[in-house]
Amino acid sequence: MKFDEVLEDIRNGKPVLVYDFDDRERECDLTVASQFVTPEIIQKMRKEAGGLICVTTPYSKAMELGLPFMSDVYWDDCEKFPLLKAMAPTDIPYDRTKSSFGVTINHRKTYTGITDKDRALTASEYAKVIFADKPADEIKKDLGTNFRAPGHIHLLNTSEKILETRFGHTELCTALMYMAGVMPSATICEMMGDDFGSRPKSSVAEYAAEQGIKIVDGDEVIAQWKEFKKTHPEL
């Protein structure tokens, strides 16, 4: 399998699988470009992956629009709610940085927000709104008009320099979106197993072969990202 084939599938709205590292989560995530998310994709993630369905945002875009890390929101409110300080995510076993979780959202045209069609609408419209060719102030207004928080889609903010200080699926999958030339937001979901843990890589590889879904390792994403950044130093 050539890496370009992975990027071509992303451009065509197809899901791909990303394994992080043996010394990190040791998990595979099913991912698709957020702009192409459909109810069928959400249903596939829910039934065949089974983890938490999340949508990524590049750090620069999140900061430009005022979309915070949830840990910062909690920290800023810890004087009023001291328990939030005690619960700070300072001991994540696979990650020395703070959690990438941002706020949670629903599109205002959803009903409960949890159905496949509701989550698909939220994920796809979120990407289209934040990457619209408009000034930041207009995008902020559109976000407030079209989304409510909290909701059923978990936003994830990347680290400031993607794949330099943090090497999670948030960064790996967002990097793939950049390299594919689509809107750089990934909708991701962990592959869960039937033994109450994550689905092993070997089992995910079998699933990928059965489904015709390409799978790529984090090491290869990082290597390709380093080459990509030579012509995109702003990232």
Does 157 qualify as catalytic in the annotation? no
94 is catalytic: yes
State yes or no: is 29 an active-site residue: yes
DSSP helix/strand/coil, 50: strand
Q: Are 235 and 229 spatial neighbours (Cβ–Cβ below 8 Å)?
A: yes
> In which order are the strands placed within the sheet that holds 215-217?
101-107, 147-157, 54-57, 186-190, 28-33, 16-19, 215-217
Segment 103-121, tens digit of pLDDT: 999 999 999 999 999 999 9
- Identify the pLDDT of residue 88: 85
The reported pTM is 0.95
Residue 53's identity, in one-letter code, is I
Which structural domain, as residue segments, surrounds residue 131?
3-230
User: Is 235 within the bounds of a domain?
Assistant: no
Residue 106 lies in a domain: yes
Is 54 catalytic? The answer is yes
Q: What is the pLDDT of residues 36-51, one digit of tens each?
A: 999 999 999 999 999 9
Q: Could you say which of 29, 118, 125, 171 is catalytic?
A: 29
With respect to residue 185, please indicate whether it lies within any of the assigned structural domains.
Answer: yes
- Please provide the average confidence, as pLDDT, over all residues in the chain: 94
Of the residues 4, 40, 76, 94, only one is catalytic, namely 94
Which CATH number goes with the domain that contains 89? Answer: 3.90.870.10
Note whether residue 121 is domain-resident: yes
Does position 22 have pLDDT exceeding 90, yes or no? no
Which is catalytic among the residues 54, 116, 173, 207?
Answer: 54
Residue type, 19: Y
- Selected residue with higher pLDDT from 18 and 84: 18
- Number of domains composing the chain: 1
